[in-house]
């Protein structure tokens, strides 16, 4: 078997191509029709790295002493030889390979795979990681070393001495496997494996020598480790313990993932989606977990090639996501015949909505509308519930999903049928879903009452005029218009008590409340008095953003951009109308492969005056286009006092 190696492919390849981008694997049951397998001309595999910029895959073959470059379909494009025992690969501005047989780290041009430089280490580097402006490597007995390329000449440091709770001169017997992430640019995670167990460590490499941050031991052989893109979690797998997510602060357990066998490889997508390679063979070889869940939403089977037929296959510890795309790549072993496995555009996880309403009801009597989801949804997912009756259609109920389902009360004032339609839009993980259900109300004498502008919204602080109309009615009828402000800080209040005129039209009402989204309760005066609750108006939040630390503001093409030096950390300052517990939602997108894709997002608390500030501290790539905007998200920004409001985009880039 090839020597053990680190898993840093996801974090590094994404960082080079524009940061954490949101891309899609779509989940369902069984293998997708677009899945592929292609035999590879290698005798072993140690590591796999995906280059999204050039749409290439690099695979190291320690037995053959070579590095092969393939297309996304497994077609071999180039082969680099003379790399004895080649192990770990990382991709930054260059492709680096650890070559223990040559005692060196070799750099390649990822566009041409031509050798750019060879850095003699003086030892046998096996694992690689990039953090703190250096390339870090692991080797037997000497532990962690570094290669600093920032100066006029390369500087190699071997067997770094640790301080803190480790004695000076301490070293590891076996080369530690390493992991890094742009979310924690100065942190290296390392695992030392021995016959009796594994010890995971977090090291701060901004100090010289590196400082231990946290340590945790398991009585089990370690297989793999990888950070989440935001750096808050370290996913680790070992032989006899569950694959789990550990805190990147103290390595405490956050959650454990449900798997049937131990995990041989881990690949974390930038949005938190997780792929785990099982050790049980071709069937259910890869388990896919949607963000925030610990039970697999889908399993993938490995596919045979024409040469291997249906022989037993096992996925090797080499697996990575396509940066900015929706494909997962891995290498399978068919009795020492290796194939590239492409899990390409798998189907989305289907979601079934069960919508329940009573079959019949009495007019003016309230009833419950309930919905449950077959797959638990992330809180805050958009939800559209439409009520359709003889008077038309309008939105009702909650506007975001909350876990496993929803429930709200409604009422039908007149005879007829009310139909509810619930829709959930699809995304990178889940398929769109729709369900309908109807309730029928019996006939009783009734009238109608309408209020214009129902369901509309206005800018923060604006004043709006409403007109109420009562249908067929007797003389001197009175309509009361009540407001039920959202939230719990204000009680219901009577806005106006109006006498309708001969046409059934009430006097006009001018009303504005800049702090809340009122829900108007309309008492309908009739032979059987009752109430009908309708959303009559909603206010948007006020959102503005200021961008600072740029050295110029100039157009690229027709679009104005903020220009930053790559060493500068942009600061985004937002201002909103204040509300207790309110947070700014800061969204940053990156332009890649001809479209804007989510790079990352943050919830930034506002101070008492409604201001927030977020400094973007990470390693910045030049020549990449970004944009940001500040939003208020109803129910996710800490309150529901306003409707979701989206600020304008601001475009920025980094230069040398």
pLDDT one-digit tens code per residue, 262-291:
788 899 887 788 899 886 666 778 888 888
Residue 415 lies in a domain: yes
Within this chain, do residues 329 and 426 fall inside the same structural domain, yes or no? Answer: no
From the number of C-beta atoms within 10 Å of its C-beta (0-12, 13-18, 19+), residue 104 rates as buried
Within this chain, do residues 50 and 109 fall inside the same structural domain, yes or no? Answer: yes
pLDDT computed for residue 21 by the predictor: 24
CA-to-CA distance for 277 and 287, rounded, in angstroms? Answer: 6
pLDDT computed for residue 17 by the predictor: 28
State percent of the chain over pLDDT 90: 43
**CATH number of 52's domain:** 2.130.10.10
Lowest average pLDDT, out of 188-197, 365-374, 449-458, 602-611, goes to 449-458
Average pLDDT on 351-363 reads 88
Within this chain, do residues 124 and 167 fall inside the same structural domain, yes or no? Answer: yes
C-beta neighbour count of 24 within 10 angstroms: 19
The answer to whether residue 37 scores a pLDDT higher than 80 is: yes
Lowest average pLDDT, out of 49-58, 310-319, 367-376, goes to 310-319
Which of 387, 392, 357, 361 lies closest to 372, judged by CA? 357
Residue 1 lies in a domain: no
pLDDT computed for residue 626 by the predictor: 95
Per DSSP, what are the bridge partners of residue 547?
572
Among 60-69, 325-334, 465-474, 615-624, the range with the most confident prediction by mean pLDDT is: 60-69
Average pLDDT on 292-308 reads 79
pLDDT computed for residue 174 by the predictor: 80
pLDDT computed for residue 222 by the predictor: 82
Residue 2 lies in a domain: no
The answer to whether residue 55 scores a pLDDT higher than 80 is: yes
C-beta neighbour count of 463 within 10 angstroms: 10
Within this chain, do residues 409 and 554 fall inside the same structural domain, yes or no? Answer: no
Collapsing DSSP to helix, strand or coil, 100 comes out as: helix
pLDDT computed for residue 425 by the predictor: 87
Residue 427 lies in a domain: yes
Q: Would the pTM of this model clear 0.85, i.e. be above it?
A: no
Q: Which of 317, 344, 371 is the last residue of a domain?
A: 344
CA-to-CA distance for 615 and 547, rounded, in angstroms? Answer: 10
Instruction: Name the domain count of the chain.
Output: 4
Which of 63, 205, 214, 54 lies closest to 129, judged by CA? 205
The answer to whether residue 587 scores a pLDDT higher than 60 is: yes
Give the pLDDT band (50/70/90) at residue 650.
very high
Within this chain, do residues 19 and 84 fall inside the same structural domain, yes or no? Answer: yes
Q: Which of 320, 344, 368 is the last residue of a domain?
A: 344
Within this chain, do residues 386 and 508 fall inside the same structural domain, yes or no? Answer: no
State percent of the chain over pLDDT 70: 78
Within this chain, do residues 94 and 232 fall inside the same structural domain, yes or no? Answer: yes
Q: Distance of CA 185 to CAs 11, 225, 480, Å?
A: 10, 16, 61
Within this chain, do residues 479 and 555 fall inside the same structural domain, yes or no? Answer: no
Q: Distance of CA 147 to CAs 211, 228, 368, 455, Å?
A: 17, 25, 65, 61
Within this chain, do residues 127 and 158 fall inside the same structural domain, yes or no? Answer: yes
Look over the chain and give the mean of its residue pLDDT values, rounded to a whole number: 80
Give the pLDDT band (50/70/90) at residue 349.
low
The helix or strand, by DSSP H or E, that contains position 60, with its residue range, turns out to be strand 56-61
Distance of CA 168 to the CA centre of its chain: 40
Within this chain, do residues 584 and 554 fall inside the same structural domain, yes or no? Answer: yes
Q: Which of 485, 514, 539 is the last residue of a domain?
A: 539
Which of 21, 23, 19 lies closest to 182, judged by CA? 19
pLDDT in tens, 366-376: 899 999 987 77
28-64 exposure pattern, b = at least 16 Cβ within 10 A, e = fewer: beebbeebbbbbbebebbbbbbbbbbeebbbbbbbbb
pLDDT computed for residue 432 by the predictor: 83
| Enclosing domain of residue 590 | 543-655
pLDDT in tens, 72-94: 989 999 999 999 999 999 999 99
Within this chain, do residues 82 and 159 fall inside the same structural domain, yes or no? Answer: yes
The answer to whether residue 470 scores a pLDDT higher than 50 is: yes
């Amino acid at each position: 078997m090839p020597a053990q190696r680190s898993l840093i492919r996801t974090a590094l390849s994404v960082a080079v191509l524009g940061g954490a981008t949101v891309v899609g694997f779509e989940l369902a049951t069984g293998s997708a029709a677009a899945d592929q397998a292609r035999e590879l001309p290698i005798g072993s595999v140690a590591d796999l790295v995906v280059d999204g910029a050039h749409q290439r895959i690099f695979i190291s073959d320690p037995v053959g002493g070579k590095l092969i470059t393939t297309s996304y379909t497994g077609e071999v494009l180039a082969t680099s030889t003379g790399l004895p025992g080649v192990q770990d690969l990382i991709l930054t501005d260059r492709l680096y390979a650890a070559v223990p047989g040559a005692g060196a780290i070799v750099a390649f041009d990822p566009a041409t795979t031509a050798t750019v430089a060879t850095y003699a280490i003086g030892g046998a580097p096996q694992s690689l990681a990039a953090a703190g402006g250096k390339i870090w490597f692991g080797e037997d007995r000497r532990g962690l070393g570094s290669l600093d390329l920032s100066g006029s000449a390369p500087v190699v440091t071997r067997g770094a001495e640790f301080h803190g709770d480790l004695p000076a001169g301490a070293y590891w017997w076996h080369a530690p496997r390493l992991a890094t992430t742009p979310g924690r640019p100065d942190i290296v995670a390392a695992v030392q494996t021995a016959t009796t167990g594994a010890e995971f460590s977090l090291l701060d490499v901004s100090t010289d020598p590196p400082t231990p941050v946290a340590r945790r031991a398991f009585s089990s052989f370690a297989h793999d480790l990888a950070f989440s893109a935001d750096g808050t979690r370290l996913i680790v797998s070992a032989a006899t313990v569950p694959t789990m997510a550990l805190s990147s602060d103290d390595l405490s357990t956050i959650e454990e993932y449900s798997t049937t066998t131990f995990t041989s490889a881990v690949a974390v997508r930038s949005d938190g989606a997780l792929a785990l390679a099982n050790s049980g063979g071709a069937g259910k070889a890869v388990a896919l977990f949607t963000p925030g869940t610990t039970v697999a939403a889908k399993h993938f089977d490995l596919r045979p090639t024409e040469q291997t037929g249906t022989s037993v296959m096992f996925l090797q510890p080499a697996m990575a996501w396509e940066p900015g795309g929706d494909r997962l790549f891995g290498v399978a072993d068919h009795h020492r015949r290796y194939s590239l496995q492409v899990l390409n555009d798998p189907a989305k996880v289907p979601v079934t909505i069960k919508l329940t309403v009573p079959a019949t009801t009495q007019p003016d009597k309230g009833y419950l509308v309930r919905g449950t989801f077959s797959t638990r949804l992330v809180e805050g997912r958009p939800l559209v519930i439409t009520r359709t009756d003889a008077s038309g259609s309008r939105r009702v109920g909650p506007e975001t999903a909350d876990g496993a389902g929803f429930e709200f009360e409604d009422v039908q004032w007149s005879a007829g049928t009310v139909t509810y339609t619930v829709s959930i839009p699809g995304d990178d993980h889940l398929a769109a879903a729709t369900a309908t259900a109807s309730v029928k109300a019996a006939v009783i004498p009734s009238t109608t009452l309408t209020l214009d502008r129902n369901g509309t919204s206005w800018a923060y602080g604006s004043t709006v005029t409403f007109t109420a109309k009562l249908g067929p009615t007797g003389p001197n009828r009175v309509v009361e218009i009540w407001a039920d402000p959202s939230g719990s800080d204000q009680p219901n209040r009577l806005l106006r008590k109006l006498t309708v005129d001969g046409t059934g039209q009430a006097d006009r009402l001018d009303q504005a409340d800049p702090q809340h989204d009122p829900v108007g309760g309309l008492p309908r005066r009739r032979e059987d008095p009752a109430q009908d609750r309708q959303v009559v108006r909603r206010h948007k939040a006020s959102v503005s953003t200021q961008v600072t630390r740029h050295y110029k503001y100039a157009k690229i093409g027709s679009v104005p951009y903020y220009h930053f030096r790559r060493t500068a950390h942009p600061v985004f300052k937002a201002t909103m109308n204040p509300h207790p517990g309110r947070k700014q939602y800061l969204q940053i997108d990156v332009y890649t492969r001809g479209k804007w894709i989510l790079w990352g997002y943050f919830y930034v608390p506002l101070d008492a005056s409604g201001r927030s500030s977020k400094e973007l501290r990470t390693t910045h790539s030049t020549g990449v286009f970004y944009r940001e905007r500040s939003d208020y998200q109803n129910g996710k920004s800490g309150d529901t006092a306003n409707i979701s409001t989206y600020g304008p985009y601001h475009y920025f880039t980094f230069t040398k």
